[in-house]
Amino acid sequence: MARFPEGFLWGGATAANQCEGGYREGGKGLSISDICTGGSRKQAKRITPVLEEGTFYPSHEAIDMYHHYKNDIAMFAQMGFKVYRFSIAWTRIFPKGDESEPNEAGLLFYESLIDECIKHNIEPLITISHYELPFHLTKEYGGWANRKLIDFFMNYCTAIFNRYKGKVKYWLTFNEINGAMGNLGNFLSLGILNEGTTDFMNQVDDPQKRFQGLHHQFVASAKAVQLAHEIDATNQVGNMIIYATTYPLTCKPEDAIAAQKQNQNFNYYCTDVQVKGKYPTFANRIWNDYGVTLDIHDGDMETIAAGTVDFISFSYYMSSCTSADPAKKGEGNLLGGTPNPYLEASEWGWQIDPQGLRYALIDLYDRYRVPLMVVENGLGAIDTIEEDGTINDEYRIDYLRKHIDAMAEAIADGVDLRAFTPWGCIDLVSASTGEMAKRYGFIYVEKYDDGSGDFSRRKKKSFDWYKKVIETNGEDLSS
């Protein structure tokens, strides 16, 4: 029996702020990612509200997809992509975010990009907001903590839903919305720049604003779902979370409770609101623990209930362990937690766990019973160009092969999985560390962290491998 259903959407994923560049072209406004400097695993990127002369800002040029998209989409087509997940930069459509009319040049750019996908029989899957709020909305309004952002977001959605009607069917509202359950989400997801924050990894936290901002995003997302359906009944809108598979560090009951709590906080809080249309039973406990009082307006909960998503999409890179013992709370990986002694980690400390993906799929499907899409997964690694010009990224193939096998197992377990779009199908800037050195692509881009590189593209070994995976609908994973 086939391991993957017919029509399974194989493809890849990127985000505007990490690949486009052209940060001032076509009338684009400054986004929150445009004010983040380069960084590395050891040196956190900085947030600079005023651009500094002589400082390297990776999003300004990124991999210059703004000028290379036709070539890049043709290469995706060569691999046989059925779907391409990308994001629209809000700042190309509404450069400041609070204008009443959209910027035609921005609308045209994405129209051309979408047409290019369609020309190659690639289904566009669009993330509406992926870590690039217009900076003006941070500066003047305080980011998503301000309720006015709901209306600004709706203007943006109205413009793109109408313009791309009939061409785009799949939409995701907010990238990794549950990133706002943690400290990093203040700025990255919500555009909230608390006083004293300069270091991206160690932001000053304000849980009151963070949870309020998240509430505004829930209302905005639900309104967007309804609007998308109104404009075109065939539109399918998903949410997008980071799924963090969480194991108790030991079988000690306290550790199991700690893991369960972490699961509720991180994996279910947002998903319950967006899929079930209401806050979960444990929400009060979370708000009380943080000393948060939410301002929920009349009608908000009705809006949320009426705007539940059609499917769940999520990113999955790693798992983590949770312990009730504060002394054991080490630096597991980006998700926090404690290292798992049974797993190996990538060079960036992300613990590799294909079984964790199978677990994630079964857990989400059992709890929510809506179709699932894995819209990010992959190995960030240092790639080397050999003397003969090849890039033998067997380690990436090995990572993806195991995760594809895990997806096949989950499907056999009864999960309704529709799509797989590995992250950074073409090398791009890392979101957490702001560097090019951490590469995910099937396509190598000659762009480096000192700003050098001519943006030329070349296929890695994984390019032909993934082509065969798609051709055989996931049956042949050999290299």
Q: Residues interacting with ligand BGP, by CB under 6 A?
A: 15, 18, 131, 175-176, 315, 376, 380, 423, 430-433, 438
Residue 212 burial by Cβ neighbours in a 10 Å radius (0-12, 13-18, 19+): buried
Least separation in angstroms between residue 278's CB and ligand BGP is 26
Q: 4 vs 76, which CB is nearer to ligand BGP?
A: 76
CA distance 359 to 407: 10
Active-site entry in 61, 116, 132, 176: 176
Q: Which of 451, 438, 254, 475 is nearest to 348 (CA)?
A: 438
Q: Nearest approach, Cβ of 14 to ligand BGP (angstroms)?
A: 9
Cα 11 to Cα 427: distance, rounded to the nearest angstrom: 15
What the block records as the tokens of 48 is 């600079």
Nearer to ligand BGP, 257 or 448 (CB): 448
Nearer CB in complex with ligand BGP: 343/436: 436
Structural Rg of the chain based on CA atoms: 21
Q: Are strands 417-420 and 443-445 parallel, antiparallel or unpaired?
A: unpaired
Name every residue whose Cβ is closer than 8 Å to that of residue 150 and which is 6 or more positions away in sequence.
216, 219, 220, 223
Tell me how many degrees the CA angle 225-230-236 measures, rounded to the nearest 5.
Answer: 45
Our CB check for ligand BGP shows the closer of 323 and 421 to be 421
What's the CA gap between 199 and 204, in Å, rounded? 9
> Identity (one letter) of the amino acid at 179?
G
Q: How far apart are CB 299 and ligand BGP at their closest, in Å?
A: 31
- Rounded Cα distance, 225 and 461, in Å: 39
What is the spatial distance between Cα 116 and Cα 73, in angstroms, rounded to a whole number? 7
Concerning whether 376 is annotated as a catalytic residue, the answer is: yes
Give yes or no for a contact between 389 and 451, defined as CB atoms under 8 angstroms apart: no
Q: How many CB atoms lie within 10 A of CB 74?
A: 12
Closer Cβ to ligand BGP, 15 or 224, answer by number? 15
Instruction: Retrieve residue 207's tokens.
Output: 């849980």
Q: Find the catalytic residue in 6, 376, 386, 387.
A: 376
Query: What's the rounded Cα separation, in Å, for the pair 462 and 456?
Result: 17
- 3-state secondary structure (DSSP) of residue 30: coil
Q: Minimum Å distance from CB 152 to ligand BGP?
A: 22
Closer Cβ to ligand BGP, 184 or 228, answer by number: 184
Nearer to ligand BGP, 143 or 179 (CB): 179
Shortest gap between Cβ of 38 and ligand BGP (angstroms)?
A: 13
The residue type of 123 is E
Nearest CB to ligand BGP, comparing residues 103 and 175: 175
d(CA 423, CA 325): 34
Distance, first Cα to last Cα, the chain: 22
- β-pairing verdict for 245-248 and 236-242: unpaired
Nearer to ligand BGP, 175 or 265 (CB): 175
Q: Is 254 a catalytic residue?
A: no
Shortest distance, position 356 Cβ to ligand BGP, whole Å: 15
Q: Beta strands 457-459 and 443-445: pairing type?
A: antiparallel
Please tell me the distance from the alpha carbon of residue 296 to that of residue 305, in angstroms, as a whole number: 14
In sequence order, which ranges of 80-184 are alpha helices (DSSP H)? 90-93, 104-119, 135-141, 148-163
**Known catalytic residues?**
176, 376
